[in-house]
A and B are shown apart, each in its own frame.
Chain A
Amino acid sequence: MAAPLLSMQGITKSFPGVKALRSVDLALHAGEVLALVGENGAGKSTLIKVLGGAHLPDQGTLAFDGEVRQINSPVDGRNAGVGIIYQEFNLVPQLTARENIFLGQEKTRFGCFSRQREHDAALALFKRVGVAVDPEALCGDLSVAQQQVVEIAKALSVEAKIIVMDEPSATLTPQEVERLFAVMRELKSQGIGIIYVSHRLEEIFEICDRVSVMRDGTGVGEATIADINREQLIEMMVGRKLDKEFPPRATQPGKERLVVEGLNRGTAVRDVSFSVREGEILALAGLVGAGRTETARLIFGADKRDSGTIALDGRILDIQHPRQAIANEIGLLTEDRKAQGLILGQSLRENFALPNLDAFSRFGFVAEGNEKVAFGGFVESLRIKTPSQEQLAGNLSGGNQQKVVLAKWLQRNCDVIIFDEPTRGIDVGAKYEIYVLMNELAAQGKAIIMISSELPEILGMADRILVMHEGRVTGEISDMPNATQQMIMELAVQ
């Protein structure tokens, strides 16, 4: 058998105070899609950064086509044929697709770059990928999926033989994911090896050939996809048996609490009306850009609505700013925790206290002691894993960050809690804990709105589903035992 495309052996990497990787082995063959899975903090990102040359390993070797090479910098990585597509793209939005592809390696003629040669080369690359993108379109104007294609073309332009994709599907719609898979199959057929990092298990079973599982900085196992099922894979990832992905629900929704009527904002939200009952989890389903997040932001006062009324327990609320929503005990867990939910450079305690300072202060002075006692309670009850309350929010894993954001609103004892993509970027174990918390909140009689792009999550958690498309509500599914992913998708794509 030929030497593998890539063979990483005994990779060890320590950071101050943390052993991120302990003797990890990984092999990738030509024309293979290898899934790299594991909970957050398992070491996947570090391993990828070692491969790409962003981190130097303390020990271990990397061999490409059987030949051991030192990868000391991202340039070495590129020269060894490694192309990495990070979750946050490395594209300059003000430049065109063509300019981005050839950034730093412009095709020149007589010292000047040749637009025509680059244009032709870009077209050829897009043809290889199998997707037509206008090379002269500004990257800032392209959709997320198109930008991803540009990234792939950029990797191919330097003759990458190994392409690493870090959570490529996280921000894609189902159709776009399908197109991405087509691209991946095309690359496979050209003999390129792909490392696919994802939390979405169904995708792994659809596109990958083999899976390599990491836990706590070590490789805990490898399997051929055909030989393994979903439960076994989850078990490998979390290191214990998970009986269920979703906790059982036993609440009976009561009277109507939140009633939204005729919400409008430009073309993003059009005439949206619905209600959420006591103890009910209402899911908002739909594609990215269908207006779900926008609706939530209108209810929370984060954006100004053109028209519409919001009423809680029969009382019409005047919500123009988040402050007013918060004063009326509405809480929002944003989809992007890092950009909108937390102040990463501040301590957990300060983050927790921010919307609650009215209760934690006297005459404008903050009572830190009260904060500590209150937050201490949540650290315990929500099982937030942190060395101390003074830890910076940016140092926590996604699941624990989400718990801190949740604690902010629990302290206020919010009546309405909106979860926007509550488990995005959160590992399997922590997901379950978040689900349990959501159920507990519902059991306390709160009205819960959950926005999610993960259909199994919607089917597993919701009491009722509202599907949106292009800013409008296109359907409601309330017969949950018989609901299917197909029913949701039909309403979502129209």
Chain B
Amino acid sequence: MKRFFADYGMIFALLVLGVLFSWLTWDEQHPTGASGGRQLGKMIVKQTTQQQRIVVLARDGAEDRAFTEELAAQLAGKREIVAIIHGSPQDARKRIDQMLTEGSVDLLACTPAVSTWPMLSSLPQLSEIPVLSPEPYHWPNFLKADNLLNVANQIVVIAVLAIGMTLVIITAGIDLSVGSLLALAAVASTWLIRDAAGGEAAGTLGVVLCCLAAIALAAAVGLFSGAMVTGFNIPPFIVTLAMMLVASGLAYTMAGGQSIYQVPDSFAWLGRGTALGSIPNSVVLMILLYIIAHVMMSKTVLGRYIYAIGGNLEAARLSGVPVKRVILLVYLLNGALAGLGGIITASQLKSGAPTYGIMYELYVIAAVVVGGTSLMGGQGKIFGTLIGAFIIAVIQNGMNLTGVGSYMQKVVLGFVILAAVLLDTLKRRGTLNLGKLFASKTA
């Protein structure tokens, strides 16, 4: 328990932020879509008698269709729906007038938006008919399912890159080239699809192969960085700074400075598709990658070696750890993950451009550091990084919801990163023992 809090103390920062933004975005919510239909259906069954004739009113559009379908399903066999009307107020009025000539209408069931139409109360023939719509309730905008998915969607690329960066930083290294590798992979994959796999007519297999090739290219660049670091003892900061320029330049050259958008619809499956309920495929992939990385770092020999190298390279070497091979592998994995991040970005945007991923390396490093990984190496937790990434995403999202301008957001984010590192430093010095604090309270 104590250890958990010491390792993942940042989860409390995330919770605090969640509570804060929930409080700040507390607002009246009008149930729409399927959930609105469900609520209204239950309300009607409770409040009305069996014989009533009901007319359902809604606008056009997918959300309103979902509303009426769900409402119809709720009322099926229990109440009689005489008509479901989709459209503008004029359309609705015509239809209702027509229906009133055929028989009486006892109830108008409508969406929250429709219930505010002036004609419902101003037209004499309608003013007598009761109108029911889903009741508004209070709930934070921040905590709406759509918004939370939005947060996950926004952070997924940074979070994937941050896995590799965590490994690199645990070995006491750094990789500044990940943003450029992202762009390189995004461009390489779309370029290959356009020029080698048939562009918009490309088949699934072709798309997959092109993406794998792009990831392999990014991994190769990562491997090269690792080789420079281990082979010639050049500081990783310098090596990857150079590779940042190289990869970015290659991406611009390959794309000719343009976006490449000649890709089939299936290319968007990873970034936009949802195979599991409403959770985007990229988020599912991210969660899977985190679980794999966590197991690797905490349960395998390789994980032990990575921590050992960062903790004391010489002691690790003298204990028989194959130091060079492990460092090479770490940079290779980091490159591959950056490449995957590029594929996800390109898939989300359904195009590849060399401008993707600019400054991402800094957000990625920030996520890792906020997540409690020490830049000195040897210490850090994979799920800490996920929490760090979410802290950054939540702060950005929360500021968007509360109307903080994007320029000011940078200022806030900068201070948050500083605060996180300060917290970590104090914790290390023992001035502030989060683990102890929480352990004594929860004991």
Contact = CB atoms under 8 A, between A and B. Distances in A.
A327 B308 CA distance: 19
Contacts of B319: 322, 326, 354-355, 408
Contacts of A341: 315, 318
A302 B314 CA distance: 9
A342 B312 contact: yes
B66 interface: no
A343 interface: yes
A365 interface: yes
Contact of B378 (A302, A326, A334, A343): A343
Contact of A343 (B299, B300, B303, B312): B312
B296 to A, nearest CB: 9
Contact of A361 (B301, B307, B308, B378): B301
A344 B313 CA distance: 12
A323 B315 contact: no
Contacts of A343: 307-308, 311-312, 315-316, 378
Contacts of A300: 318
A366 B315 contact: no
A332 B318 contact: yes
A342 B304 CA distance: 14
Residue of B299, B311, B319 most packed against chain A (CB within 10 A): B319
Interface stretch (A192-200, A226-234, A345-353): A345-353
Interface in B362-417: 378-379
Given A323-B320, A323-B322, A354-B321, A346 B299 contact: no
The interface size bin for chain B is 20 to 34
A16 B305 CA distance: 32
Interface string B300-340: 11111101100110111111111000000000000000000
A202 to B, nearest CB: 32
Interface residues of A, number: 27
A334 B312 contact: no
B321 to A, nearest CB: 7
Given A302-B318, A334-B318, A354-B316, A345 B311 contact: yes
A339 interface: yes
A438 B379 CA distance: 34
A354 to B, nearest CB: 4
Contacts of A366: 299-301, 303-304
A408 B379 CA distance: 22
A321 to B, nearest CB: 8
B118 interface: no
B430 interface: yes
A357 interface: yes
Given A344-B311, A346-B378, A354-B321, A16 B430 contact: yes
18 contacts: A323-B322, A326-B319, A339-B312, A340-B312, A341-B318, A342-B312, A342-B315, A343-B308, A343-B311, A343-B315, A345-B311, A345-B378, A345-B379, A354-B316, A355-B319, A355-B320, A357-B304, A365-B301
Given A334-B318, A365-B301, 18 more contacts: A300-B318, A302-B318, A326-B320, A339-B314, A340-B315, A340-B318, A343-B307, A343-B312, A343-B316, A343-B378, A345-B311, A346-B307, A346-B311, A350-B307, A353-B304, A357-B305, A365-B299, A366-B301
